[in-house]
Structure 1
Amino acid sequence: METTDAAMADAHERAATVGIRRAARPLRSALERDPKDVDLRAALVSLYRAGGALEQAGRYSVVAPDADPDEVSAYLRWAIAQGADEARVRHLSLLDDSQPLPEDFVADLAAGRVRRTPAEAWDELGGTAMFVFAALIVITLVATFAVVIFWAPAAPFIAHFGSRLFALAWAVAFACFAVADALRHRGKGAAWKGVVSVVLFVFGAAGLVSLFTGGF
């Protein structure tokens, strides 16, 4: 284990000077000789993860019980784009005959489809909320401009109403992104996005209550 830790530390140090691909070569060579060495495999995953190469991290962690779903999904997309079949994927991931690929991965590979992970689904919902936010900005600006021309007294109401809807849309977006971060075990990101979501929701909801109960 100490030897593997030293190799991992050396690989990370080399990556800073020669790049991830070259730094990973010694680890890959060692893993080729012993595909069942979980420490070497974990070292490769750590190296690629630190460099932001999710598909390569998934490449070497695909059979691990604690594999990151986002990384495995990225690897699946990459493998499909390469036109790889199961045998090719096994070769790319340096697996021997006793290391089966997950059944759902094999099925998705054969079908050429990539299922969204739960975190990706929440990210997509957050993106939709951001789109709604942008649409609300345009609608509010157009509506306010029109009201100023045709019914000026209502302009403050429209502007106030729109701003509170902006806040609620942002609140939903940040809530979705917070859930996605939580699913990825990114505690700090989930925490601050959750706090921002609550603040925006309170601001938006309180503003709407104020608007419809007497004043703004």
Structure 2
Amino acid sequence: MTEVLVARGLTVDVHLTRKQSLRTVDGVDLVVLAGAAHAIVGRSGSGKTSLLSVLGLLDARFTGELRLGGTDVRSLSDAARARLRNEGIGFVFQSYSLMPQHTALQNVLLATEYGPRSRRGGARARTDASRRALDQVGLSDKAAAFPRQLSGGEQQRVAIARALVNEPQLILADEPTGALDESTGEQIMSLLIDRARRAGSALVIVTHDPLIAARCERRFSMSGGRLEQVAGEIR
């Protein structure tokens, strides 16, 4: 499998005061593979969200090596890092992070304005791609609906469509089912994993739920900022 993301010795120190700091990520080594689902499991405060922020190029305050698609992230300017993030990474959050004043279609369309589709085919092509993304998650009939008119599961499906519309090489999901009931959560997980695999994208899911982790081919446990790969069941 192709290596989409490679991290070596990744370390994050959060400075609390001038003399005090907290190490939230401690020497993490991680290889993320195309077409595979990866789960990172850990309790609150274990460093999962801090790690995801760095992997998603949202936080540049780290030491160590980080490569996305073969590009050394450390060598990039802020603008180049933002461009790589917009073009190569799709995000799915627990809170959905939809714009309430925009319809489902418009929320997906927003993602195309800054990604690679912004340079391909104009507004019509971007709209068509956004409609296809909604159709792929089973929401073609909800394109004109606003977030307040959608259930939690439907809102998360819009978020998944938004994450996939630019065909990113990496999808990062932070507790994507945390706000959903068990049945809806299972549907969302199946959809997310299936769509990522079909697209050949690498999927990284941060979760505290071992049942979600069990559905991923590659599983990791995080504690005290350290990451370890787990071969068997995570408890």
Normalised by the length of structure 2, the TM-score is 0.24
Q: Which has the higher helix share?
A: 1
Larger radius of gyration: 1
Q: Which has the higher strand share?
A: 2
